Structure 1
Amino acid sequence: MTHSDREAIPMTVRRFRKKPVEIEAIQVTPHNCAAVADWVNGRPGAYKAGYAGKAYPDIGGVEIPTLEGVMRAAWGDWVIKGVQGEFYPCKPDIFAKTYNEVSVSETTK
């Protein structure tokens, strides 16, 4: 059966807005990758086999255990702790479009 042989199924695309929830996040740098890895209970490392478990400021990133498996955050990426305690990486341009930093006074309300 080809696509043209199938009966057309009506589809309605709806629009949604993200709920305003606070998350915790940190931007990965060569100077903090070991601390980020400890935070996510992951492994600091690089994209090269044999470097996992150590921080290599000139070639690496952080491996993050996520709900979808192990993902990597490169220098400059953000690591986000989601609303259910899950971690995932986010590219800086997407992070900037999606999140605004919460001031300390807002978090103590």
Structure 2
Amino acid sequence: MARYRKKPVEIEAIQWWKNGDHPDDALPPEHKILPGERSEGRVVRYFRRPEPEYDGQTTHDLCGRIWHDHGWIDTLEGGHTVCPGDWIITGVQGEVYPCKPDIFAATYEPVDG
């Protein structure tokens, strides 16, 4: 079987912890959030599923956090859950997708300058 190496490509990424962390999720300055109101992100949206096993206070087996703490991102391959601590990568064609911290650390390194 032939072997291949990933081409060196620079990407933009930000580590996501909660809704609003991605810089492109920000609302326009003229939008005033009312007390108790939550804003929907443009890149990472709120995680919502109607099934009882995804109740907001139920724990996600993969990361141990409650579903209420998670986000949802639409990717070229469909939608994906975003766990707190995941990296949100903007690819070479402007596409966005989540990446688990251990995979990110094994695949990417900071670019000088």
TM class by smaller structure: 0.5 to 0.7
Q: How many residues align?
A: 85
User: Unaligned 5+ residue runs, structure 1?
Assistant: 1-12, 52-57
Higher percent of residues as helix: 1
Residues 88 and 22 (structure 1), Cα distance of their counterparts in 2 relative to 1, 3 Å cut: same
Whichever residue aligns with residue 42 of structure 1, its letter is V
Q: Following TM superposition, by how much is the alpha carbon of 1:47 offset from its aligned partner in structure 2, in angstroms?
A: 5.4
Q: CA separation of 1:47/1:60 partners in 2, compared to 1, >3 Å: closer, same or farther? A: farther
Which contiguous aligned blocks of 4+ residues in structure 1 show a shift greater than 6 angstroms?
none
Instruction: Note if 1:38 corresponds to 2:28.
Output: no
Identical residues among aligned pairs (%): 46
Q: Within 5 Å, which residues of 2 pair with 1:22-101?
A: 22-30=10-18, 33-36=19-22, 38=25, 41-46=42-47, 48-49=49-50, 59-101=68-110
Q: TM-score, normalised by structure 2?
A: 0.62
Q: Which has the higher contact order (CA 8 A, sep 6+)?
A: 2
Report Cα offsets for 1:64-83 as digits up to 9, x if no partner.
11001111211011111111
Q: Which has the higher strand share?
A: 1
Larger Rg: 1
How much is the aligned-residue C-alpha RMSD, in angstroms? Answer: 2.7
Aligned to 1:9: none
